[in-house]
Copies of this chain bind each other. A is one copy, B any other.
Amino acid sequence: MKSKKEQIFEVSARLFRKRGYVGTSMRDIAKGVGVEAASLYNHIKSKQEILHELLFDVAGRFTTGMDEISDSSLNPLQKLEKLISLHVRLAVEHTDAVSIIIGEWVHLEEAAKNEYTGLRDTYEEKFKAIIQDCISEGHFKQVNPEIALFSILSTLRWLYSWYSRNREISSVELEKQMIECLLVGLKK
């Protein structure tokens, strides 16, 4: 059974995704939970805390996943496949939270925002390093690694959006197709 605090986070994630952080009032959240707005404060400290919790929880899952993959003994191409798998899994399991991490981090208060962008930059750096390894070890052509990173990452970031519109595809199939499109290429 879910605790009230968890309920609040769940409802908030759904509403933040639909109307944004600023566009969602504490009274909206309260209504979703089935309680008066003031009662929320028996469980949480502030509205900002909700955003912070939602965002850093899923950010942590990404960075943990990245570290495991990055530190593994797989070859760089296999690492990329694992990263795609990570993104697919998190997009499927935490659709709303992933949506928020992408669109609503700007509404974190200054200190938390800096912390978040730091995490994100580190994540992107590690991602890029793996792509560069793919190039130097001869798996990839001599493409601009920045642009390859950007191309892959933006697709992975959008996964949550696409997945919520096309639930019928299995995540295994989705993963396979993503590898084909992103890593192998479309051209015959």
A residues with a Cβ closer than 8 A to B are: 18-20, 22-23, 103, 106-107, 134, 138-141, 143-144, 146-148, 150-151, 153-155, 157-158, 161-162, 166, 174, 177-178, 180-188
Contacts and interface: CB of A to CB of B under 8 A. Distances in A.
B154 A188 contact: no
Given A106-B19, A147-B178, A187 B187 contact: no
B187 A140 contact: yes
A184 B148 CA distance: 12
A56 B22 CA distance: 23
B141 A150 contact: no
A148 B186 contact: yes
Contacts of A166: 146
Given A22-B20, A158-B150, A187 B181 contact: no
A177 B143 contact: yes
Q: Closest 9 CB pairs between A and B?
A: A185-B185, A154-B158, A22-B22, A151-B181, A22-B23, A147-B177, A140-B186, A154-B155, A150-B162
Given A19-B106, A107-B23, A166-B146, A151 B141 contact: no
Copies in the complex: 2
Given A139-B188, A147-B178, A151-B182, 20 more contacts: A19-B106, A19-B107, A20-B20, A22-B22, A134-B186, A138-B188, A139-B187, A140-B187, A141-B188, A143-B180, A143-B181, A146-B166, A147-B177, A151-B181, A154-B154, A154-B161, A155-B155, A158-B158, A182-B186, A183-B186
